[in-house]
């Protein structure tokens, strides 16, 4: 049987990403930026700008957290892969 761990679409991955940052754990991400894009690495920082939160990985990649659709195998509800 297939099983997919999901996060409600109204929720954000912010708290999960903060936890990975605090515990210095690597993240594997999927973002929907005009198509799905993959990113991996350690979270260097989480930045709040205006009304959006951004994730900065150790390789310098910056992502809008609202565009993240999966973190370490946890997907937003309604996301089909």
Comparing CA positions, the residue from 41, 39, 42, 66 lying closest to residue 52 is 66
Could you give the CA distance from residue 29 to residue 16 in angstroms, rounded to a whole number?
A: 12
In this prediction, residue 12 has a pLDDT band, given cuts at 50, 70 and 90, of confident
Say whether pTM exceeds 0.85.
no
The predicted pLDDT at position 9 comes to 45
pLDDT digit string (tens) for 17-75? Answer: 999 999 999 999 999 999 999 999 999 999 998 889 999 999 999 999 999 999 998 88
Domains and CATH numbers, the chain: 6-76 (2.30.30)
DSSP secondary structure code for residue 15 in this structure: H
Could you give the CA distance from residue 35 to residue 8 in angstroms, rounded to a whole number?
A: 20
Could you give the CA distance from residue 63 to residue 31 in angstroms, rounded to a whole number?
A: 8
């Amino acid at each position: 049987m297939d099983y997919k761990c999901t996060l409600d679409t109204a929720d954000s991955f912010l708290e999960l990403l903060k936890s990975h940052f605090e515990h210095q754990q690597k993240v594997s991400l999927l973002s929907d930026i005009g198509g799905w894009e993959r990113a991996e690495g350690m979270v260097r920082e989480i930045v709040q700008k205006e009304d959006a939160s951004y994730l900065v990985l150790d390789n310098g990649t910056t992502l809008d957290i609202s565009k993240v659709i999966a973190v370490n195998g946890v997907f937003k509800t309604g996301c089909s892969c």
